[in-house]
Amino acid sequence: TAALTDLLPCETDSPEATHALGRRLAEHLRPGDVVALYGDLGAGKTQLVKGIAAGLGIPDVEVSSPTFTLVHEYRGGRLPLYHFDAYRLRNLEEFFDLGYEEYFYGDGVSVVEWADRIEPLLPPHTLRLRLEHLGGDRRRITWHEAPPSPDGLQSRL
């Protein structure tokens, strides 16, 4: 297993490469981890989540952007995966109503697309990743600047 610092920051040149990065990131994930994804439409957030799902050994489900449901739950892998997409979130209330704490502080891994929409609700141990278009099929994936997280993934770097 490569260290997280060997995986990131990095650039990918295809959807498959971003998927592969997700698979390798998944090896580091533990129960209760929260991964927050930042980046424009088409930056590759969902592609990365698909890779994480594959890396967790989640059986071949169609992982797509849960745009209309806020959260999809995927089971059957090493850990449950809770895939959020906050793109259409109108207010934080909606996220409370979802019972988000059960997910964020539960036994699975939460991954949040458009995490900036729920920034105040992200736990201290959140791992923040930024995805950026570099033109064509190139994307840059980096650590998003984040407050110190003593009990989080970043402390495992």
Residue nearest to Mg ion (CB): 46
By CB under 6 A, the residues from 70 to 129 that bind ligand ADP are 113
- Binding residue (CB under 6 A) for ligand ADP from 12, 28, 51, 153: 12
Q: Are 56 and 26 in contact (CB under 8 A)?
A: yes
Strand partners, 127: 35
Q: Is 139 in the site for ligand ADP (CB under 6 A)?
A: yes
Q: Is 46 in the site for Mg ion (CB under 5 A)?
A: yes
Tokens of 5: 């610092």
CB of 78 to ligand ADP, least distance (A): 22
Give the other-Cβ count within 10 Å of 119's Cβ.
Answer: 13
Going by their DSSP bridges, the two strands 71-74 and 81-85 should be labelled as antiparallel
Number of residues that bind ligand ADP (CB under 6 A): 18
Going by their DSSP bridges, the two strands 127-133 and 109-113 should be labelled as unpaired
Q: Is 83 in the site for Mg ion (CB under 5 A)?
A: no
Best CA proximity match to 85, nearest among 105, 67, 63, 73: 67
Q: Is 65 in the site for Mg ion (CB under 5 A)?
A: yes
**DSSP secondary structure code for residue 117 in this structure:** G
110 binds, among ligand ADP, Mg ion, none (CB under 5 to 8 A by kind): none
- Binding residue (CB under 6 A) for ligand ADP from 28, 45, 117, 128: 45
43 binds, among ligand ADP, Mg ion, none (CB under 5 to 8 A by kind): ligand ADP
- Binding residue (CB under 6 A) for ligand ADP from 65, 142, 149, 154: 65
Q: Are 54 and 25 in contact (CB under 8 A)?
A: no
